[in-house]
Amino acid sequence: MAEQKEMRAVYAETLTALADQGLEIVVVEADLMRANGTGAFAKKYPARTVNVGVAEANMVGIASGLSAAGKIPFAATFACFASRRAYDQFFLSANYAGLNVKLVGSDPGITAGFNGGTHMPFEDLALMRAVPKLAITEPSDPASLAAILKLAAETYGCFYIRLQRKPADMLYSAEEKFELGKAKVLKKGKDITLIALGAVMVQEAMRAAANLAAQGIEAAVIDALWLAPLDEATILEHCAFGKVITCENHRVTGGLGSAVAELIAEKAPGTQLARIGVGKDSFGEVGTPDWLADHFALTAPHIEKAALSLLGR
Amino acid sequence: MNKEELKELQETAKRIRSLTIEEIGHLGVGHIGGAMSIVDILTLLYFRHMNVDPANPRKADRDILVLSKGHAGPALYATLAEKGFFPTSWLLTLNQGGTLLPSHCDRQKTPGIDMTTGSLGQGISAAVGYATGLQMDHTPATVYCIIGDGESNEGQVWEAAMFAAHRKLGNLIAFADWNGMQIDGLTKDVMNMEDIVAKWKAFGWEAEMVDGHDFEAMDAAISRAKARRTQEGARPTMIVLKTIKGKGCSFCEGLVTNHNMNYGIEQTKEALAALGTKARLIPALLNE
């Protein structure tokens, strides 16, 4: 089994390290510091830790004001609240105002698990993708999370960072370099391309690719990392195989599948596309992540089935 | 404040009122009511209290103003123009395509604007965040924020209020423009806010109500807030301004329909005459 690390621990450690380097990081929270694990940062930088209580809209407004005052705020809450509840604040006070706010949505999609449908965002990426200039990322492992947090802190502008709190497999070494809007090709292939976003789906796609390989099918796997800017060059290069499957822990409307569908329609017509994700008419449900992944047809067998169907087998 | 200073502030406010009426009159439509009701506080802040430099709008140690009731932008633009942040001729571009003076305040467009506002309730959150950031740096700057009475219906105002008191943001002085009217009618009929001073006090702020058209009363209230700031654990201050919506604009003063209204050159001319000022912007009125 691959080495794992808790993603929220990486979040707190990285922000602390960035503050140590002299960046004016401010951790902004809405009564989820225990969940997000930012106590370690607060211990070292109490004056730069701002807990607004259970008030997500205000959290984003305050982060915007902190940014206007020259700080680099990382505001975190569950992705359902970061997107649905504080959308107008993030849109206007942060993005439209041209400020430098990093909004972190934790527990995306099925990782909300036992919090159930009320807390299960399958639409946060769709909402965020409608915001001009916003960088949208879902790191897939501890190394990419650390590198992308650093990149976000050092790049002026708004970011939406989807964060799975729980442990994730190490996919990259600590030395791996990451760039804004650049995907990673995790596995080369020639028959079909799987484009996955986030730790859950990248791991399912890798599993599916291994199973397909056992049947003689060479599937490439792309870790998208960024929904915006989308790495069009890498994706289009892989459209040359003629068959693409997007894999997202999100509803199929408005997120990665939609973005790739738009790209294919405009720049690679003729490419066959299947979208793995939560159905367009489904809300979230309560259950274990494993049950939810199977219930919403996000697992490797579902990806394999879609691949075989596209390949006519 | 001596008599001369008072007279000068009154004259400055009259010029700003006149510019605001022309600015919106030239366009033919705009948020005249809530703009006119805050001209006196804007005059007092920019011409007596705020540390700002029109030649260097983003100077590091400046005081900050967040106009949370962003639709009153035209009054702030007239004030900034009168202060010298940009030529008064810009006021004729209000809301024209490509203008640097959009109806609601935009920090990326207008010299002297510190925060983008327009979705009510958001500006005060940003002001509170701004004050938090300045407090972390132990700077002497003050953050001023103006909210509306209709705006006070927004829940976000009260989230920001709780936070500012909890963090003891003594560097924050806010004003509520209590003109008693909102789009759909009198505030007491649309959404009665009851005892607003008691509400702010209950949220942990220093709060009082003064006449929003009385420079001496407002000046004294601001001076009290500034004096408290030197004390340990100073709280934020809310100064509720009892105002008249449309104040100083003859054809709309106190009209419940003046939130956003149409008027043109003739009414502008009439309002300037009532105010006792001469036109400075609208070409057709310059030689009258």
A262 burial (CB, 10 Å; 0-12 / 13-18 / 19+) is exposed
Which of B134, B160, B162 faces A61 most closely, judged by CB atoms? Answer: B160
- Domain assignment present for residue A189? The answer is yes
Confidence of residue B281 (pLDDT cuts 50, 70, 90): very high
Q: Give the Cα separation of A72 and A21 in Å (integer).
A: 13
**Same-domain pairing of A16 and A136:** yes
**Same-domain pairing of A98 and A53:** yes
Q: Give the Cα separation of A159 and A78 in Å (integer).
A: 15
Please list, in sequence order, all residues whose beta carbon lies within 8 angstroms of the beta carbon of residue A117, skipping any fewer than 6 positions away.
A283, A284, A285, A286
Q: How confident is the model over A282-288, as a mean pLDDT?
A: 96
- What are the tokens at A58? 């205000």
User: ipTM value of the model?
Assistant: 0.96
Quick one: which of B177, B178, B172, B176 has its CA closest to B225? B172
Structure letter (DSSP) for residue B103: S
CB distance B1 to B263 below 8 Å:
no
Number of domains making up chain A: 2
- Domain assignment present for residue A174? The answer is no
Residue at a domain's end among A126, A145, A169: A169
**Same-domain pairing of A25 and A157:** yes
Structure letter (DSSP) for residue B68: S
Tell me the pairing of strands A243-251 and A272-278. Answer: parallel
Q: Choose, from A13, A29, A56, A248, the residue flagged as catalytic.
A: A56
**Same-domain pairing of A152 and A16:** yes
Q: What is the pLDDT of residue A51?
A: 97
Residue A101, CA distances (Å) to A115, A162, A177 in order? 27, 14, 23
**Same-domain pairing of A195 and A305:** yes
pLDDT in tens, B137-170: 999 999 999 999 999 999 999 999 999 999 999 9
Residue A248's domain comprises: 184-310
**Which residues of chain B lie closer than 8 angstroms to A89, CB-CB?**
119, 122, 125, 156
Q: What is the pLDDT of residue B288?
A: 72
Which of B115, B159, B166 faces A68 most closely, judged by CB atoms? Answer: B115
Q: What is the pLDDT of residue A1?
A: 60
Residues 102-121 of B with CB under 8 A from A: 106-108, 114-116, 118-119, 121
A102 at interface of B, judged by CB pairs closer than 8 A: no
Report the CATH number at residue A85.
Answer: 3.40.50.970
Is there a contact between B115 and A58 if contact means CB atoms under 8 Å apart?
A: no
Ranges of beta strands (E only) in chain B are 29-30, 64-67, 143-148, 172-178, 181-182, 185-186, 206-211, 237-242, 261-262
**Same-domain pairing of A143 and A57:** yes
Residue at a domain's end among A122, A143, A169: A169
pLDDT in tens, B33-50: 999 999 999 999 999 999
Q: Give the Cα separation of A209 and A229 in Å (integer).
A: 26
Q: How confident is the model over B168-186, as a mean pLDDT?
A: 97
- Domain assignment present for residue A305? The answer is yes
pLDDT in tens, A41-63: 999 999 999 999 999 999 999 99
pLDDT in tens, A160-183: 999 999 899 999 999 999 999 999
Q: Searching chain B, which residue's CA lies closest to the CA of residue A62?
A: B129
Report the CATH number at residue B132.
Answer: 3.40.50.970
Flag whether pLDDT at A252 surpasses 90.
yes
Residue B124's domain comprises: 3-285
Q: Searching chain A, which residue's CA lies closest to the CA of residue B105?
A: A97
φ, ψ of residue A184 to 5 degrees: the values are -120, 135
- Domain assignment present for residue A178? The answer is no
Number of domains making up chain B: 1
What's chain B's Rg over C-alpha atoms? 18
pLDDT in tens, A177-228: 999 999 999 999 999 999 999 999 999 999 999 999 999 999 999 999 999 9
Structure letter (DSSP) for residue A122: S
Report the CATH number at residue A303.
Answer: 3.40.50.920
**Cβ atoms within 10 Å, residue A190:** 11
Amino acid at residue number A138? E
A13 a catalytic residue: no
Residue at a domain's end among A137, A169, A201: A169
Q: What is the pLDDT of residue B230?
A: 85
Q: How confident is the model over A81-92, as a mean pLDDT?
A: 98
